[in-house]
Amino acid sequence: MSETILVVNAGSSSVKFQVFAVGPYDQLERRMRGQLEGIGTHPRLFARGSAGETLVDQRWSAQEIPDVPTAFGEAVSFLRAHGNGELPIAIGHRVVHGGPDFTAPTIVSGEVIKKLEPFIPLAPLHQPNNLAPIKVIHEKHPHLLQVACFDTSFHRKHPAVADYYAIPDELHTEGVRRYGFHGLSYEYIAGQLPDIAPEITSGRVIVAHLGSGASMCAMVDRKSIDSTMGFTALDGLPMGTRPGQLDAGVVIYLMQQKGMSADEIERFLYKDCGLKGLSGISNDVRDLLASSEPRAKFALEYFVYRIATLTGMLAAAMGGIDGFVFTAGIGENAAPIRAAVLQRLAWLGFDLDAEANAAGASRITTKNSPAACFVIPTNEGLMIARHTLNALRAQSIPLREEKLA
Ligand code: ADP
């Protein structure tokens, strides 16, 4: 039986999990991935093994799995049964908000949980759900190592001008700042650059994480200096169902003229806008690319336009640009979107290699292109597993030394 690390990503309607086996020299290999989705509506547990085989496909009524802790309990029962009762050697959790001070993955303790709870109002849809499984495990298995890995940490060294809003300072002090998200994805890509794109590794690079959530990160020498996301994951690029950058006056309008409550506005901004709202057809880029409807075309045109204009903003923050990386579901798979973006970025020195792009190559600009563009698949789960294993190994170093002594 090999040692395993469990990676957990608990959201408002799903608990996603991955199991990594720890091999020789601490190489990590994914053994399984799954999720319990539809919590409180149509709960369904689904998991696949490393060869893609289905390991479980089970459904419940909404009342049986009403919340995240119950869903997590069911997922753990399945994992236990599947792992012959063995516990993982450690659990890594994706936690959306580390606030201003959590600048690195952190080993969970009662005190750490207490320090993370005040960030719930900063991310009410995500933070409580991220913390729920952490608390369950901490109560049931206090000696099992848990590591919280934050989406915000990678961005915590932004210069002050990128971190502030032009609002009175008390609000900044209480946490109203431009945090930036998708940090685990950006950190993973930063780690891949030396192998895949050595010529831009120490340069000025924009990484575009284009999935159902979308943002871009400006990296200089692989460190984040700015991001398109701010206080919440609503800002910046348009997304599947979120609008991206929006004049705060629109929110006032919705309250005053439409009589919408805070909860209604929240649901509207997270669920009904973006590509879905603009096209009136779908939030999925695959559907929009396949559609001949003018609204679908316009939604994609708008998406590309915003990527290009915000690239200008981030290039200005870096004082120029040497490279661009596409990642996540859309970035990795949607060649027509990548082509349209690069055509708009020609003025910054990106010369699209149309054939390489259509063929799904890793480098998609021509040899002589002054700036280089790459497609690099992201792997946030592996990043969390690595952080978790590192924390475990770092903890056990003194023990080993004691033994040797
Ligand atoms: P998340 O992890 O945030 O749920 P992903 O990174 O998996 O999101 O991205 C999901 C999105 O990627 C889908 O909503 C879809 O728009 C897009 N996508 C996935 N595959 C393709 C494809 N082959 N072509 C175009 N878009 C795709």
Q: Give the dihedral sign, CA 295/300/303/306.
A: negative
**What pLDDT is recorded for position 85?**
72
pLDDT of residue 323: 98
332 labeled binding residue: yes
**Predicted TM-score of the model (pTM):** 0.94
Collapsing DSSP to helix, strand or coil, 93 comes out as strand
Supply the mean pLDDT for the chain: 94
Distance CA 162, CA 236 (A): 13
Contact 100, 176 (CB under 8 A): no
For the stretch 215-248, pLDDT in tens is 999 999 999 999 999 999 999 999 999 999 999 9
| Helix or strand run (H / E) with residue 22 | strand 15-22
Handedness of CA 352, 358, 364, 369 (dihedral sign): negative
Burial of 367 (0-12, 13-18, 19+ CB in 10 A): exposed
209 is in an annotated binding site: yes
Name the residue of 181, 215, 286, 338 whose CB sits within 8 Å of the most ligand 1 atoms, as the mutation to test its pocket: 286
Both structure tokens of 200: 């831009």
| Contact assessment for residue 176 and residue 165, using Cβ atoms and an 8 Å cutoff | yes
* Closest ligand 1 atom number to CA of residue 275: 16
pLDDT under 50: residue ranges of the chain: 398-405
Q: Which domains does the chain have, with CATH numbers?
A: 4-150 (3.30.420.40), 198-375 (3.30.420.40)
User: Tell me, what's the pLDDT at 405?
Assistant: 34
Q: How far is the CA of 286 from the centre of ligand 1 (A)?
A: 8
29: number of Cβ within 10 Å: 14
- pLDDT the model gives residue 402: 40
Ligand 1 pocket test target in 94, 212, 326 with most atoms within 8 Å of CB: 212
Strand order in the sheet with 223-227: 223-227, 214-220, 204-210, 323-327, 372-375
Chain Cα centroid distance, residue 70? 24
Catalytic residue positions? 151
Q: How far apart are CA 6 and CA 86, in angstroms?
A: 12
Q: Give, to the nearest 10 degrees, the angle between helix 68-82 and helix 127-140.
A: 50
Q: 330 C-alpha vs ligand 1 centroid, how far in Å?
A: 5
CA of 333 to the centre of ligand 1 (A): 8
Q: Is 80 annotated as a binding residue?
A: no
Q: Nearest residue CA, atom 4 of ligand 1?
A: 212
Helical axes 294-318 vs 335-344, angle rounded to 10°: 50
Selection from 338, 316, 326 nearest residue 185 by Cα: 326
Residue 123 Cα to ligand 1 middle (Å)? 23
